[in-house]
């Protein structure tokens, strides 16, 4: 997701040394997730929150989160909350190296998890930038093809941002699903720019991505207590509802959606969704996301009736003035994403 590129690359490198990071040949119709058999447990829209320590998963599951970003590790997958699925991290950030750089190592890993029905798919790249690395589309395609060949039904996913998307179109990358991460609530502005969501979805449209491939990324973080840049602020409850409604209008039944971020990142995200429970002067964004996660329709489930308009957007009132950002918990960030 945007603003985590350098941090994720550093964490991924550390994981290669320490083994402690948690995550992300022939494709039958590139980008056509619906053409392949659905995994056994896929029902409706799944919900993922990034940067989640294992100890927080039960609390997140109580809010309706049922997709978890983990390493390709049997024990970690088996320990997920009941009904939880896994999106396995095997990717890269921007132009950095892949978690498993060699094709043979990645193939062996995919084969190892091909029969695990709790594995939803593979997180193959985080914000690839084709301007800086023109060969990135081919590298993603090679890994997506491995997933499709050896684990049919599991999804090949990458998260894109507002860098050029056309070089990453489905025919070039063979991806099944793409995340889009416009963050509408910026520092110094009382309102959130919901048009940023329309702009990025339009960019994906023009690049050739069908709406069924899009995975919305919701802003559930601010930058008032992190150590790095201070470009974004935590949305208020009404503002987050407006963000969800805008996404619902544009992509009403995604395969899954993403909340960025559940946990803090020292450089990029503080406060985050795990902080925003209505205490300490922060809005109760957890309640907003629970309502969203537990009512969401998804693939194969009823949508809004034809011609039925979406609910009117809530007033874009700024959040109530917050008290000091809660003190860091000292909890390690397991994934860096």
pLDDT in tens, 215-249: 999 999 999 999 999 999 999 999 999 999 999 99
Q: What is the pLDDT of residues 192-209, one digit of tens each?
A: 999 999 999 999 999 999
Structure confidence at residue 80 (pLDDT): 98
Three-class SS of 176-206: CEEEECCCCCECCCCCCCCHHHHHHHHHHHH
In this predicted structure, the answer to whether residue 266 has a pLDDT above a threshold of 50 is yes
Question: pTM of the prediction?
Answer: 0.80
State residue 328's pLDDT score.
27
Give the least confident one: 41-50, 100-109, 158-167, 283-292. 41-50
**Mean pLDDT, residues 162-183 taken together:** 98
pLDDT classification of 296: cutoffs 50, 70, 90: low
What mean pLDDT value characterizes the chain?
Answer: 82
| Per-residue pLDDT, 13 | 36
The most confident of 191-205, 300-314, 318-332, by mean pLDDT: 191-205
Residue 314 has a pLDDT of 35
Angle subtended by helix axes 237-250 and 195-207, to nearest 10: 30
| % of the chain surpassing 90 pLDDT | 74
> In this predicted structure, what is the pLDDT of residue 317?
38
The model's pLDDT over 143-164, given as tens digits with 9 standing for 90+, comes to 999 999 999 999 999 999 999 9
Q: Given this model, what pLDDT does residue 148 score?
A: 98
């Amino acid at each position: 997701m945007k603003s985590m590129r350098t941090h994720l690359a550093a964490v991924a490198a550390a994981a290669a040394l320490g083994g402690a990071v948690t995550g992300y040949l022939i494709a039958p119709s590139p980008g056509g997730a619906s053409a392949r058999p659905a995994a056994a447990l896929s029902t409706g829209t799944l919900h993922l929150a990034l940067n989640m320590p294992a100890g927080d998963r039960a609390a997140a599951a109580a809010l309706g989160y049922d997709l978890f970003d983990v390493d390709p590790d049997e024990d970690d997958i088996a320990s997920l909350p009941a009904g939880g699925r896994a999106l396995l991290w095997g990717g890269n950030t921007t132009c950095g190296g892949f978690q498993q750089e060699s094709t043979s190592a990645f193939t062996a890993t995919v084969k190892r998890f091909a029969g695990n029905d709790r594995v939803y798919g593979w997180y193959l790249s985080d914000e690839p930038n084709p301007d800086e690395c023109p060969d990135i589309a081919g590298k993603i395609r090679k890994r997506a093809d491995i997933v499709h060949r050896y684990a049919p039904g599991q999804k090949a996913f990458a998260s894109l941002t507002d860098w050029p998307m056309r070089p990453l179109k489905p025919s070039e990358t063979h991806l099944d699903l793409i995340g889009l991460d416009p963050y509408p609530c910026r520092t110094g502005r009382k309102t959130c720019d919901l048009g940023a969501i329309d702009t990025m979805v339009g960019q994906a449209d023009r690049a050739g991505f069908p709406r069924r491939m899009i995975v919305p990324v919701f802003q559930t973080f601010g930058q008032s207590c992190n150590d790095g840049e201070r470009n974004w602020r935590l949305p208020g409850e009404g503002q987050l509802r407006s963000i969800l409604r805008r996404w619902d209008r544009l992509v009403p039944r995604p395969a899954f959606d993403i909340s960025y971020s559940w946990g803090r990142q020292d450089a990029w995200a503080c406060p985050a969704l795990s902080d925003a429970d209505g205490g300490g002067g922060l809005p109760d964004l957890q309640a907003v996301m629970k309502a969203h996660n537990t009512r969401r329709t998804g693939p194969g489930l009823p949508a809004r009736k034809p011609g039925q308009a979406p609910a009117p957007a809530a007033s874009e009132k700024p959040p109530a003035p917050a008290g000091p950002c809660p003190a860091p918990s000292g909890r390690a960030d397991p994934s860096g994403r």
